[in-house]
Structure 1
Amino acid sequence: MFPFHFLRCVSQAPWAPRLFSTTSMVEAGYKMKSHSGAKKRWRSSPGLKSFKRGKAFRSHLNASKPPARLNRLGNTAYSTPAQTHKLRKVLLPYGSG
């Protein structure tokens, strides 16, 4: 019997153009996955220049917190340039394009 899994991993049809290089994936034997926790917490701004997220500690036990603190916690938090660089690698392991 012919091993059909061999056809899947060796090559694609010659008429289908590849959108990205798969040589390192085939050599490694696995695909990199994006970070599930980061996917749930961060959203990208247009053009992938930065990412934004909501702040923590705003969901419950708010009666003992001052109103100024609650207002601060309601604002959006943006990523720093160092965080943006790391988030791009975590969320987009094969690049943005």
Structure 2
Amino acid sequence: MPKLKTHRGAAKRFTFTGSGKIKRKKAFKNHILTKKSAKQKRNLGKGGLVDKSDHKRVVEMLPNN
């Protein structure tokens, strides 16, 4: 059976924590920032965790981690 390949787009977006959770960045922080409040932009800068409903899908894209 051939080796599994890592999904390179996912590898650039997700990292694993020591306990096995998956860290991610939040969306909507790239452009059109003038109409967003400072509070919203500040909170978008903080990281988040992948929801448990998406956890399996992300793990399948990152088989070597």
Aligned-partner residue type, residue 35 of structure 1: H
2:11 to 29, 39, 46: 39
2:37 corresponds to: 66
What are the ranges of 5 or more consecutive residues in structure 2 without an aligned counterpart? none
Size of the alignment, in residue pairs? 65
> What is the CA–CA distance in structure 2 between the aligned matches of 1:40 and 1:83, rounded to whole Å?
17
**3-state DSSP class of the match of 2:48?**
strand
Aligned residue identity for 1:39:
A
Taking structure 1 as the reference length, the TM-score comes to 0.56
How far has the Cα of 1:61 moved from its partner?
A: 2.9
Aligned to 1:55: 26
| Alignment map for 1:1-97 (pairs within 5 Å) | 25=1, 30-48=2-20, 50-92=21-63
Give yes or no for contact 2:14–2:24 (8 Å, CA) kept in 1: yes
CA distance in 1, matches of 2:29, 2:53: 26
Q: TM-score w.r.t. structure 2 length?
A: 0.78
CA RMSD of aligned residues (A): 1.8
Q: Which has the higher helix share?
A: 1
Q: By how many angstroms is 1:71 displaced? A: 1.8
Greater Rg by CA = 1
1:79 Cα deviation after fit: 0.9
Moved over 2 A (4+): none
- Gapped regions of structure 1 (runs ≥ 5): 1-24
